[in-house]
Amino acid sequence: MQSRTERPDAVVDAPKGNWVDRHAPPAWRPLLRLSRADRPIGTWLLLLPCWWGIGLAMMTNAPRWFDLWIALACLIGAFVMRGAGCTWNDITDRHIDAQVARTRSRPLPSGAVSLRGAFLWLAAQGLIGLLILLTLGSAAIWMGVASLVLVAIYPFAKRFTWWPQIFLGLAFNWGVMLAYAAHMGRVDAAPVIAWLGGIAWTIFYDTIYAHQDAEDDALIGVKSTARLFGDNSPRILAGFALLATLLLGIAILLTGRNLLIGGIGLAGFAAHMAWQLRIFEPNQGDTCLRLFRSNRDTGLILALFLAIAGLA
């Protein structure tokens, strides 16, 4: 008998026993898989910089009851907008995904979702994201609208640059400025520098992730920092980990309040990346995937301590 955690229609690289495969209504599974809802790590990596932004805003100013809604809105928004981004990415990459062993089971190349259905699903997720954004004030709304340019460009970056991870970082860390703006009504230097630090962090974790596909990418001509760095990745990524730590440290210093608590969180953030580098092997796909997913904890450590520093 086929077990519930080994469904024949599941996406190959999704975690075994994920909630979509186990609990989602069968009719919704292809669309939820298109949104990567069966792989929640992407939602976490989009959400955590938003929570950094709230923490930095509270450290700069003071906590407000509205921050609870900002945190919840960011959670809902990260889920639907990450889903929209993944849907758009899969629409643009459907022919490439069909040529890569790890991705050919995704809903579009496998035929589980039609192209028309994918565009409709993209529009539905975008509408939900817009409704959430409209509750966060004019400064955040303009930041949200501006982010759409980055989201639209990212899927094409690997076709024209060896650094598509930079474009992913530009988009995925935008929330640190958006959430800060929702609290403060403006964007200051601290969230901008934190955004730059987040980009360095994204290059770190997404290069690790991209090493899973380096051989297939080389065959079909897709560029990535994993291919660019090759066997030098551990050494180069150590530099990006250091850069991320330094930039986020400057952002914390600029808030001017409860710096020790924020510094403890930053130390935990750096220590987790150091642990990843000790284990990282560019040619071990399973290890690369495990380390990539562990970056939820990397960012969550920092988010937790920034929140404590903001509330203290």
Residue 200: both structure tokens together: 């360095």
Q: How confident is the model at residue 111 (pLDDT cuts 50, 70, 90)?
A: confident
200-248: pLDDT as tens digits: 999 999 999 999 888 877 877 889 999 999 999 999 999 999 999 999 9
Return the ∠ at Cα 77 (arms to 65 and 169), rounded to 5°: 110
Percent of the chain with pLDDT over 70: 96
**Main-chain phi, psi angles of 186, to 5 degrees:** -160, 170
pLDDT in the model for residue 156: 86
CA–CA separation, 50 and 64 (whole Å): 16
Q: Mean pLDDT score of the chain, rounded to an integer?
A: 92
Is the pLDDT at 288 greater than 70? The verdict is yes
> Which of 14, 267, 1, 60 lies closest to 181, judged by CA?
60
Q: What is the 3-state secondary structure (H, E, C) of 97-143?
A: HCCCCCCCCCHHHHCCCCHHHHHHHHHHHHHHHHHHHCCCCHHHHHH
pLDDT in the model for residue 93: 85
Q: Hey, what's the torsion of the CAs at 124, 126, 127, 130, to 10 degrees?
A: 160
CA–CA separation, 254 and 232 (whole Å): 34
The amino acid sitting at 200 is: A
Complete DSSP assignment for 20-50: HHHHS-GGGHHHHHHTTTT-THHHHHHHHHH
Is the pLDDT at 17 greater than 90? The verdict is no
pLDDT in the model for residue 7: 53
Is the pLDDT at 259 greater than 90? The verdict is yes
Residue 257: both structure tokens together: 């309040």
- SS3 call for 5: coil
Q: How far is CA 228 from the centre of its chain?
A: 21
Asked if 75 and 270 count as a contact pair (C-beta separation under 8 A), the reply is no
| Tokens 């975008």 sit on residue | 126
pLDDT in the model for residue 9: 65
Mean pLDDT of all residues in 103-130: 92
Return the ∠ at Cα 57 (arms to 56 and 59), rounded to 5°: 65
38-92: pLDDT as tens digits: 889 999 999 999 999 999 999 999 999 999 999 999 999 999 999 999 999 899 9
The secondary element (H helix, E strand) that includes residue 164 is helix 164-172
Expressed in angstroms, the distance from the first to the final Cα of the chain is 55
CA–CA separation, 272 and 266 (whole Å): 10
Per-residue burial over 189-204, b = 16 or more CB atoms within 10 Å of its CB, e = otherwise:
ebbbbbbbbbbbbbbb
Return the minimum-mean-pLDDT range out of 148-162, 196-210, 277-291. 148-162
